[in-house]
Amino acid sequence: MTADRNVTEPIAEAGTSRTVADIAIVGGGLAGSLAAAVLAQAGHRIALIDKRAVYPDEFRVEKIGGHQLAMLRKLGFLDALDKVACRYDQVLNIRESKVVDVSVGQAYGFPYADLVAMARSQMPDPSGLIVDEVTAVSCSDDVQHLELASGRQVTARLVVLAAGMAGALAYKLGIRRRVLAERHSVSFGFTIVRQDGRPFDFEALTCYGERTADGIDYLSLFPVRVGMRANLFMFRDPTDPIMRELRREPEATLLRLLPGLRPYLGDFRVVDRVQNWVMDLTVVEGHLQPGVVLIGDAFQTNCPAAGTGVARLLVDVDRLCTEYAPRWLMTAGMGQEKISQFYSDRDKIAADQQSLKMARFRQALTSRNDIGWDVRRRLHFLRRSLTHRVDQMHPGWLGRVRGALRA
């Protein structure tokens, strides 16, 4: 129990290679690191275990805004985010070189590794991070045991599995991944600058695909410290030769696929490695077990184009770490009946379902070419651009027209 304790760091038992904690978190990506910081700040003894001391330069979420920021503020991370990320407030949205509309609202761009480092830095005691690989987990109604590659052992009352898409540990517990859509989307990430070294004429820009056959949902350009970051989201066969062309000649291929971009970008070049990622949509099965709970990508993967991965994991962190886990620790045992409260949480279920719904919607809006979706696509952009034009007129007298267009 946490109530009568006066130290909050995990206890490394003297003379042994055993650590005792209230909660062991496996995986210090965004989900695990945020969870560790929230729980440790609340006074729980946390062992956060990740095989890497620093998250590597891997392509994951690189921008957040809107409701995600409200959640980060609620969890107490917004000030720290503001210090490490690049803020922007306006996104110019274009299609076929024409302005669709302008999105206004606080948003941030960053390398994912910086976001993870920011979350880890919010742990009150850095010794809560154990750099090691968890090789085995055994769970029960009472105490959970973890074995690490170094030979160290960790004992905890609850295990939070936040190991992302790496499924080996969950598999050993009998937890399986069901593939809902194989090779659902392909994403590219790279950084661009103007050839003349001057800044671009926009703060941030989104360019939507022009032809369904290209399978391009959108290209998102937003500021990071070293330049303008580009995230290109596609629904297309990952073995198509265009993938290689995008890696080898990103500038020319991008302009060939999105000719409407040319007047906005001018002469530009890619200044770093083009990273790409093929994403399956998956969800776990057999996860309701005593002593262990799965969060973030370890529970369900997301479509990057839908931009719901962070929203989902923030709901997981919020519900688990501010509501359920603290309550579970106040009474003996960690049986299934406790764990099931988290998986049946209304907000969690809604966020997981919304993520899958948006994944399917983005794919259909991008690449379905039957008449129904063709009309829907036209209406989608027409409604946005009419709403934008109305917004630019006199603010007072067109309120009702605006409402009707948005309905």
Ligand X SMILES: Cc1cc2nc3c(=O)[nH]c(=O)nc-3n(C[C@H](O)[C@H](O)[C@H](O)COP(=O)(O)OP(=O)(O)OC[C@H]3O[C@@H](n4cnc5c(N)ncnc54)[C@H](O)[C@@H]3O)c2cc1C
Which residue ranges make up the site for ligand X (CB under 6 A)? 26-32, 49-52, 55, 59-61, 63, 133-134, 162-164, 166, 169, 187, 277, 279, 296-298, 302, 304, 307-311, 313
The CB-of-252 to ligand X minimum distance in angstroms stands at: 22
The CB-of-86 to ligand X minimum distance in angstroms stands at: 15
For ligand X, the closer of residues 52 and 406 by Cβ is 52
**Residue partners of 269: CB distance under 8 A and separation at least 6:** 192, 193, 195, 251
The CB-of-381 to ligand X minimum distance in angstroms stands at: 21
105 Ramachandran zone, left/alpha/beta (phi>0; psi -120 to 50): left
The DSSP annotation for 142-209 comes to S-EEEEETTS-EEEEEEEEE--TT--HHHHHTT-EEEEEEEEEEEEEEEEEEETTSPPPSSS-EEEE-
Give the side-chain half-sphere CA count within 13 A for 90. Answer: 6
Least Cα distance to 120 among 68, 59, 55 occurs for 55
For ligand X, the closer of residues 28 and 227 by Cβ is 28
Please give the helix or strand (H or E) that residue 386 lies within, else none: helix 371-392
For ligand X, the closer of residues 194 and 360 by Cβ is 360
Question: What's CA 277's distance to the chain center, in Å?
Answer: 14
The DSSP annotation for 68-99 comes to HHHHHHHHT-HHHHHHHSEEEEEEEEEETTEE
The CB-of-298 to ligand X minimum distance in angstroms stands at: 6
Strand partners, 232: 188, 219
Distance CA 402, CA 407 (A): 9
The CB-of-53 to ligand X minimum distance in angstroms stands at: 10
The CB-of-188 to ligand X minimum distance in angstroms stands at: 8
Relative to beta strand 18-26, strand 153-161 is parallel
For ligand X, the closer of residues 146 and 265 by Cβ is 146
Question: What's CA 216's distance to the chain center, in Å?
Answer: 20
For ligand X, the closer of residues 279 and 320 by Cβ is 279
For ligand X, the closer of residues 27 and 111 by Cβ is 27
The DSSP annotation for 11-33 comes to EE-TTSSEEEEEEEEE--SHHHH
The CB-of-162 to ligand X minimum distance in angstroms stands at: 5
The CB-of-403 to ligand X minimum distance in angstroms stands at: 29
Closest-by-Cβ residue to ligand X is 29
Give me the amino acid identity at 283.
V
For ligand X, the closer of residues 232 and 405 by Cβ is 232
**Residue partners of 103: CB distance under 8 A and separation at least 6:** 90, 91, 93, 206
The CB-of-1 to ligand X minimum distance in angstroms stands at: 27
Give me the amino acid identity at 215.
G
The CB-of-169 to ligand X minimum distance in angstroms stands at: 5
Distance CA 82, CA 313 (A): 20
For ligand X, the closer of residues 115 and 405 by Cβ is 115
Give the side-chain half-sphere CA count within 13 A for 10. Answer: 27
For ligand X, the closer of residues 29 and 128 by Cβ is 29
For ligand X, the closer of residues 128 and 309 by Cβ is 309
Task: Tell me the chain's radius of gyration from C-alpha atoms.
Answer: 23
